[in-house]
Amino acid sequence: MPTQTPSTACLLVIGNEILSGRTQDEHIPYFGKCLNKWGIHLLEVRVVADNKEAIADAVNVCRARYTYLFTTGGIGPTHDDVTAAAIAKALGLPLERHPRAIKILKAYYGAERINDARLRMAEMPKGAELIANPVSKSPGFRVENVFVLPGPPLVLQPMLAGIAHELTGGPPVLARAVSAELGEGAIASGLEAIQEHHPEIEIGSYPYFRDGKLGVSIVVRGIKEAALSDTLQEVINLLKDLGGNPIAEVQD
Amino acid sequence: MPTQTPSTACLLVIGNEILSGRTQDEHIPYFGKCLNKWGIHLLEVRVVADNKEAIADAVNVCRARYTYLFTTGGIGPTHDDVTAAAIAKALGLPLERHPRAIKILKAYYGAERINDARLRMAEMPKGAELIANPVSKSPGFRVENVFVLPGPPLVLQPMLAGIAHELTGGPPVLARAVSAELGEGAIASGLEAIQEHHPEIEIGSYPYFRDGKLGVSIVVRGIKEAALSDTLQEVINLLKDLGGNPIAEVQD
């Protein structure tokens, strides 16, 4: 069999707060480690300001040069969130409100809290596929080989775990997720036991704060469907045993 | 007096260890804070591998685009230190051992410890000006608008301080921040209105999860103290009107 050229990647970190020195970047080491694991070569990182032209320029150079381009930041509801518009501009696509993103946002915020600013988070280039957000719901998106993710690491990290199976770097990885309002410390030893019984499955635990409540999302990843289902069932059983009310999360 | 275009800068971080996730970058926040103070706008950061072509390519794009380009890393004595050669290649200059750098290295290491590998640290593009290294002596260098510095932060930081007088900056960029336990979506429209009234001030909105609570930090940045104070006060009033309890944050 011929040797395949390995997949390559670029990470584009978007945010004035990184360039000003106010916020220490956490994405570079996180992507570095994830992509190592997935056999995808992270060859370049760029950090640019919340500026449409700067973002669009970097996106067009980097999406052409690498197998995958990941962006972080600038997809919230405020005036300084310009990433979606910049990417639409870069790809020459219209910016539209994604119908399923609207649904997700309306369901999450409810009739009283949904407003026009929050609905701006549904704006994406036409044809974008959603990236599920188990922490704060507002989805990221993918267009072609560009993956658009939010800035806060606690929100981004479970989203990245959830798209691993879309990347070519090794055998495809399947993922399932379940969440419950339990602290990570409460489930840790049980989860570890499950992991030990299923060394071929990767179990990830991601704490979240949602509507003022602490919770945890468990993501199970692996290449064998049967082992994955077995593991997920054990995780669900664990969460139930500990008094949680596990809710399966939709994976794109 | 005509308004001067502010000086701009790009930071090029060179090193596989950053891209692999093994080492957490410390240069981005350090340069961000120094350049704020010096009134130089850091508009882009790139991280590339220890690869001559990748470095040369980034150097040529970025030195043309920004007033100053700073590079970090890859100027040590080992085979993976290829920055000097890459910059010589980028600028179309021969790589030579700088006579004064040779003297400095020989004096520091002494007759017994100097060797060919250490002398490689004297290799620079022809015409380079040395940048003094008070910590470990081996100098960095400047060619045109490119400042070439080492990777270890403890070595780099005093070297950067030593070249401050060579840089043309402007008034320092000032910042103030305030936080409140409110969602970004709740404040977005009010914040946008404040931004529109103060185009000379940059307003950033950063959600956070802290002690189990959702909140938002608003950062205002600019060079004029009065405009900054006015903007901050409007932000504080907005947060109060929305039922928040705004708390000033300490800035560096």
Question: pLDDT tens across B213-241, in order?
Answer: 889 999 999 999 999 999 999 999 999 99
Q: Which residue of B has its CA nearest to A210?
A: B214
Whether residue A3 lies inside any domain: the answer is no
Smallest Cβ distance to B212: which of A17, A109, A214?
A214
Smallest Cβ distance to A79: which of B24, B191, B208?
B191
Say whether B209 and A44 touch across the interface (CB within 8 A): no
Q: What does the mean pLDDT of chain B come to?
A: 93
Q: Are residues B17 and B77 in the same domain?
A: yes
- A119 to chain B: which residues are within 8 Å by CB? none
| Of A132, A166, A200, the domain-final residue | A166
pTM metric for this prediction = 0.83
| Of B104, B135, B166, the domain-final residue | B166
Q: What is the CATH number of the domain that holds A228?
A: 3.30.70.260
Q: How far apart are CA B181 and CA B195, in angstroms?
A: 20
Mutate to test the interface with A, among B42, B52, B65, B206 (most CBs of A within 10 A): B206
Does residue A252 have a pLDDT over 50?
no
Smallest Cβ distance to A117: which of B189, B212, B214?
B189
CB A8 within 8 A of CB A66: yes
pLDDT digits (tens, 9 = 90+) for B22-43: 789 999 999 999 999 999 999 9
Closest-CA distance of chain B to residue A154, Å: 9
Q: Are residues A154 and A212 in the same domain?
A: no
Q: How far apart are CA A156 and CA A159, in angstroms?
A: 5
Given this model, what pLDDT does residue B92 score?
A: 98
Say whether A33 and B21 touch across the interface (CB within 8 A): yes
- Comparing C-alpha atoms, which of A91, A59, A61 is closest to residue A73? A59
Closest-CA distance of chain B to residue A201, Å: 23
Given this model, what pLDDT does residue B160 score?
A: 98
> pLDDT tier at A122 (50, 70, 90 boundaries)?
very high
Say whether A16 and B43 touch across the interface (CB within 8 A): no
Say whether B188 and A78 touch across the interface (CB within 8 A): yes
- B16 to chain A: which residues are within 8 Å by CB? none
Number of H helices, E strands in chain B: 9, 12
Does residue A3 have a pLDDT over 60?
no
Closest-CA distance of chain A to residue B85, Å: 19
| Of B138, B166, B194, the domain-final residue | B166
- A79 to chain B: which residues are within 8 Å by CB? 188, 191-192, 195, 203, 205
pLDDT digits (tens, 9 = 90+) for A61-117: 999 999 999 999 999 999 999 999 999 999 999 999 999 999 999 999 999 999 999
Closest-CA distance of chain A to residue B30, Å: 6
Q: Are residues A125 and A192 in the same domain?
A: no
Number of H helices, E strands in chain A: 9, 12
Does residue A1 have a pLDDT over 80?
no
Q: Are residues A238 and A191 in the same domain?
A: yes
Say whether B47 and A50 touch across the interface (CB within 8 A): no
Considering its fold, how many domains does chain A have in total? 2
Sheet strands side by side (includes B174-180): B202-210, B213-222, B174-180, B247-249
Q: Which residue of A has its CA nearest to B45?
A: A47
Q: Are residues B161 and B182 in the same domain?
A: no
Whether residue B48 lies inside any domain: the answer is yes
Whether residue B1 lies inside any domain: the answer is no
Mutate to test the interface with B, among A40, A78, A109 (most CBs of B within 10 A): A78
Q: Are residues A104 and A220 in the same domain?
A: no
Q: Are residues B85 and B145 in the same domain?
A: yes
Whether residue A44 lies inside any domain: the answer is yes
Given this model, what pLDDT does residue A171 score?
A: 47
Q: Are residues B29 and B145 in the same domain?
A: yes
Whether residue A2 lies inside any domain: the answer is no
Q: What is the CATH number of the domain that holds B207?
A: 3.30.70.600
- A49 to chain B: which residues are within 8 Å by CB? 43-44
Q: Are residues B102 and B80 in the same domain?
A: yes
Task: Pull the structure tokens for residue B100.
Answer: 């004064």
Smallest Cβ distance to A76: which of B20, B24, B184?
B184
Whether residue A128 lies inside any domain: the answer is yes
Q: Are residues B140 and B195 in the same domain?
A: no
Q: Are residues A182 and A156 in the same domain?
A: no
Query: Distances from the Cα of A34 to the Cαs of A73, A128, A208, B9, B181, in angstroms?
Result: 18, 24, 20, 30, 32
Please state which of the ranges A130-134, A152-156, B206-210 shows the lowest mean pLDDT. Answer: B206-210
Closest-CA distance of chain A to residue B211, Å: 10
Q: Are residues B200 and B110 in the same domain?
A: no
Structural domain boundaries enclosing A184: 174-249
Whether residue A228 lies inside any domain: the answer is yes
- Comparing C-alpha atoms, which of B189, B252, B176 is closest to residue B217? B176
Closest-CA distance of chain B to residue A207, Å: 10
Smallest Cβ distance to B214: which of A36, A118, A209?
A209
Whether residue B51 lies inside any domain: the answer is yes
Q: What is the CATH number of the domain that holds B116?
A: 3.40.980.10
CB A42 within 8 A of CB A32: yes
